[in-house]
């Protein structure tokens, strides 16, 4: 079997473990003592006891009922515990759903740049895939006429990611409605990767979850991003289509059919503490964005971005004399990590985005990295 190193992983040999990081896309990670403290502060001692005393047997396929009930609370009336399917992280959910839904005879539509699994899961599942490139000039927004033009008689699946990684943009309700109408007209399943939902910088811009808004809609979510709990490795799908949910369970059966109980209980603790965790993380994001605004204003000759409105990442254009890959290497030598364009697009599209790099600003340590970046720019700008 041949195996290609994922393009989203290639930067790791250059930037892995660097002390000054803009690389992460998650918010400030929690610690277990913090999680227990938040749980006890609410008087939820029974949950801490359940964690301390849980057995190590298999959990139910697709996730235990108590976790699915807790997750269902994030959605509207159409979504109950039986509409939730739990996975060991969001990435597995992306792959499983594509395998459950698609055959070699099917066609899917995805967008670039983006998280590799969002773009490529349908391809791994054997489907024909049309990739539509998004443009900064359009605020990284999907153009429905381009999606319409890509439709074929065998198109079954449309995959979007809102809020959008890598740019931190968010579509309007109107655009979401247009895409749902298009999906409805063509009888498509529409998966929205909502890994960054609940991190809208202005909560009034939050979109309805796709699972609530469209009967063939699928919402993907994970604890990894807004809750800063990637180590819990719990993600999920929410969907009204119970036949597709069953097909996903059948695919999942051959992988990690059930998460560990410790992860499930940590996930329940995390979700019950949502208000406090999201408030803290949104405050870190707001503070860091303010610092980045000042930086980009000062160095606007070299750096431009479509200012993010949701999530903890942004896609920055570098107008200096080198590609973002070369800039990434030079920054790595100074101990600073960014994610160059090649992390987000397969080589067929990489040239179109060669000047872009992603920065993450969800962690409390970001200001330290920004001070180092500013020092780097001051040292080099005269030769740019």
Decide if residue 112 touches ligand PLP (CB under 6 A).
Answer: no
Q: Which stretch binds ligand PLP (CB under 6 A): 11-19, 62-70, 86-94, 135-143?
A: 86-94
Instruction: Closer to ligand PLP by CB, 28 or 193: give it.
Output: 193
309 binds ligand PLP (CB under 6 A): no
The residues near 149 (Cβ < 8 Å, ≥ 6 apart) are none
Angstrom distances, CA of residue 230 to CA of 89, 235, 270:
8, 9, 11
Task: Please tell me whether residue 191 binds ligand PLP under the rule CB under 6 A.
Answer: no
Q: Which residues 134-163 are close enough to bind ligand PLP by CB under 6 A?
A: 161
**Beta-sheet strands, E only, within 209-305:** 217-222, 235-239, 303-305
Q: Which of 230, 238, 265, 306 binds ligand PLP (CB under 6 A)?
A: 230
Number of residues interacting with ligand PLP: please give it, by CB under 6 A: 14
- Let me know the angle formed at the C-alpha of 220 by 214 and 225, rounded to the nearest 5 degrees: 135
24 binds ligand PLP (CB under 6 A): no
CB of 363 to ligand PLP, least distance (A): 14
Among 116, 155, 224, 266, binds ligand PLP (CB under 6 A): 224
Nearest of 304, 302, 308, 370 to residue 336 by alpha carbon: 370
Under the criterion CB under 6 A, does residue 337 sit at the interface with ligand PLP? no
Secondary structure (DSSP) of 303-350 = EEE----BSSEEEEEE-SSS-HHHHHHHHHHTTEE-EEGGGTS-HHHH
Candidates 88-96, 249-257, 275-283, 359-367 — which segment interacts with ligand PLP by CB under 6 A? 88-96
- Least Å distance, CB 169 to ligand PLP, is 13
Q: With CB under 6 A as the contact rule, which of the stretches 89-97, 152-160, 274-282, 366-374 interacts with ligand PLP?
A: 89-97
* Residue 195 binds to ligand PLP (criterion: CB under 6 A): yes
Say how far residue 298 (Cα) sits from the centre of its chain. 29
Spatial CB neighbours of 316, under 8 Å, sequence gap ≥ 6? 296, 303, 304, 305, 356, 357, 358, 359
Instruction: Tell me how long the chain is.
Output: 384
Contact residues toward ligand PLP (CB under 6 A) are 25, 89-91, 115, 118, 161, 165, 193, 195, 222, 224, 230, 235
């Amino acid at each position: 079997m041949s195996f290609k190193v994922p393009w989203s992983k290639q930067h790791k040999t250059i930037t892995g473990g660097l002390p000054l990081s803009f690389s992460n896309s998650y918010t400030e990670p929690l610690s277990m003592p913090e999680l227990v403290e938040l749980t006890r502060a609410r008087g939820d001692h029974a949950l801490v006891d359940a964690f301390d005393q849980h057995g190590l047997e298999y959990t139910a396929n697709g996730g235990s009922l108590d976790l699915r009930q807790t997750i269902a609370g994030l959605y509207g009336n159409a979504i109950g515990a039986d509409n939730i399917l739990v996975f060991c992280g969001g990435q597995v959910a992306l792959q499983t759903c594509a395998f459950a839904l698609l055959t070699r005879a099917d066609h899917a539509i995805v967008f670039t740049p983006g998280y590799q699994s969002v773009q490529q899961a349908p391809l791994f599942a054997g489907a024909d895939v049309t990739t539509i490139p998004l443009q900064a000039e359009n605020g990284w927004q999907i153009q429905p006429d381009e999606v319409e033009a890509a439709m074929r008689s065998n198109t079954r699946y449309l995959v979007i990611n809102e809020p959008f990684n890598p740019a931190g943009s968010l579509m309007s309700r109107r655009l979401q409605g247009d895409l749902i109408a298009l999906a409805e007209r063509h009888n498509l399943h529409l998966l929205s990767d909502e890994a960054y939902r609940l991190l809208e910088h202005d909560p009034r811009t939050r979109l309805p979850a796709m699972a609530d808004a469209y009967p063939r809609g699928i919402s993907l979510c994970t604890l990894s991003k807004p809750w800063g709990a990637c180590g819990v490795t719990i993600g999920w799908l929410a969907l009204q289509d119970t036949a597709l949910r069953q097909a996903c369970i059948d695919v999942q059966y051959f992988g990690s059919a059930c998460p560990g109980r410790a992860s499930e209980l940590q996930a329940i603790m995390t979700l019950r503490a949502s208000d406090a965790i999201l408030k803290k993380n949104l405050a870190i994001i707001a503070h860091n964005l303010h610092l980045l605004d000042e930086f980009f204003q000062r160095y606007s000759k070299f750096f431009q971005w479509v200012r993010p409105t949701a999530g903890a990442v942004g896609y920055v254009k570098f107008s200096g004399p080198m590609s973002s890959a070369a800039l990434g290497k030079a920054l790595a030598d100074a101990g600073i990590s960014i994610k160059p364009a090649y992390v987000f697009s397969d080589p067929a599209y990489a040239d179109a985005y060669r000047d872009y790099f992603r920065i993450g600003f969800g962690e409390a340590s970001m200001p330290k990295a920004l001070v180092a970046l500013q020092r780097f720019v001051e040292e080099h700008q005269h030769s740019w």
